[in-house]
Amino acid sequence: MGINLHSSIGRYYLASALFMLVLGLVFGVVAAFNYIIPGFSQEYLGFIQLRPMHVSCVMFFILMGACGCIYCGLQSAQPDTISKPLAYMQLVIWWIAIIAILFSYSQQQFGGREYWEFPPKYALIIAITWVLFLVNYFIAATKIKKWPVYIWMWMTGIIFFLFTFLENYLWEFPYFREHFLKDLTIQWKANGSLVGSWNQMIYGTAFFLMERISGERSTAKSNLAFALYFLGLFNLMFNWGHHIYTLPTESYIRYVSYIVSMTEWIFLLRIFYTFKSTVTTARKNYYYFPYRFLLASEVWIFFNMMLAIVMSIPAFNLYTHGTHVTVAHAMGTTIGINTMILIAACFEFFMPHNEEFAKGSKVLNVFYWMLQIGLLLFWLSLIIIGIQKGIWQMGAQTTSFSSMMQSLQAWFYVFVSTGIILMASLSSLAFILLHAFLTKKKYLHF
């Protein structure tokens, strides 16, 4: 069945997501310059404004990108069931919220918590968009028979995101805010589960793309696929415990969270088990960019799962918690996994499977490898900075904080330089995709 690319509401979400990605990259690089040039851009936008701008734009990129992929997926599985007026209303409200939030940051109007540092009143607008999304999802999904795994993953992600997003604002109530440990525990728990919720939506998209690329419908309905789904759901609900190792909570919470974190070895084993078949498939599909970005995401899953497992061991967590190692894990997951999958989806929905990939392969190859190499160096530099900072924090601290930071200056230069490479490569890919979005008039066959 074919649908006109320009008739798919999901593509407008993906285009909006790409715009937010470029904006987030610019804010991030400008903010990073403050590590090597203190007070950089202070006259216009200081670090205190740029950091939340960067974080919010990247989060909006992920969330709007997930919405776009889900709408495209639903439209392919069950055409003409999505309420377009509802979807357009959701998109317009999204943009109202984004503009209001970025303006508030520029005026140094904050008031929120980590990830959501904007004034809490804007959270209500985001919640409204998500309720509209949830309603629209069930309008379409309930008409699909025999749900493949990605339909379940999308549903789980949407519901849990709304739940954890609301949970994140429990601090607005005095009952929670006035008890420090309770407040902090809920905040760290909510943030951990929040990431798990959008991972369900993004990983569901990966299953959808693998089904499309391979043409094998049984992949998304296999026992292994559903086993991975339930393991992901289990981690979503309980893996947050490793965020609160440093809090004086009950011992059993630490033990349970440690065991849950260790179940991630199953993901690693699955990667090792399928590695041979992945290499064989890569030889056949390597030229096809949606597949290449999915393959890259699998490599980054391996790297980040190894880092996550090390960070989940309490003895190591004491050294890594709150350092740049945590940032490395967040960036590796956000860029290496989520962004790779979303870029793969954009290529699939904006540039159908045809010879144009081969014609533009030289240019795309350059940006693809710039992204992979730049991200690896970026990731490693953050880990090295984080380890040295963690050793300083847990040691005798014979040197001052400023001296310790000064000793890391060379690695901060690597961090900023590779950040520029990431901005250049990802922005270039985004512009290529946005150009395809604006000019393509072909049909994409689902």
pLDDT digits (tens, 9 = 90+) for 51-105: 999 999 999 999 999 999 999 999 888 777 888 999 999 999 999 999 999 999 9
Q: Is residue 108 left, alpha or beta, with left meaning phi > 0 and alpha meaning psi from -120 to 50?
A: left
CA atoms within 13 A on the CB side of 111: 12
Tell me the three state secondary structure of residue 266. helix
Rounded to the nearest 10 degrees, how much is the dihedral formed by the CA atoms of 408, 410, 412, 415? -130
Residue-level pLDDT at 234: 81
Query: With a cut of 70, which residues of the chain have pLDDT below it?
Result: 1-7, 239-246, 249, 254, 261, 264-265, 267-269, 271-276, 278-279, 282-284, 286-287, 352-360, 396-398, 440-446
Structure tokens that stand for 161 in this block: 């995101």
CATH of domain 264-446: 1.20.210.10
Which residues touch 140 (CB under 8 Å, ≥6 apart)?
74, 75, 77, 78, 81, 82
- Cα separation values, 277 from 213, 271, 295, 297, 336, Å: 15, 10, 12, 16, 21
Partners of residue 3 on adjacent β-strands: 444
Containing 443, the helix (H) or strand (E) segment is strand 443-445
- Per-residue model confidence (pLDDT) at position 45: 84
What pLDDT does residue 21 have?
A: 96
- Provide the residue ranges of all domains of the chain, joining segments of one domain with +: 264-446
Q: Are 30 and 81 in contact (CB under 8 A)?
A: no
Q: Round to whole Å and give the CA distance between 132 and 122.
A: 16
CB–CB of 349/436 below 8 Å?
A: no
Number of other CB atoms surrounding residue 404 within 10 Å: 17
Q: Does the CA dihedral 167-100-65-78 come out positive or negative?
A: positive
Classify residue 296 as exposed, middle or buried by CB count within 10 Å of its CB (0-12, 13-18, 19+).
Answer: buried
Radius of gyration, alpha carbons of the chain: 21
**Bridge partners (DSSP) listed for residue 444:** 3
Tell me which residue of 280, 190, 272, 276 sits closest to 236, measured CA to CA.
190
> What is the SS3 assignment for 263?
coil
pLDDT at 284: 67
- What pLDDT, on a 0 to 100 scale, did the predictor assign at position 444? 39
What size, in residues, is the chain?
A: 446
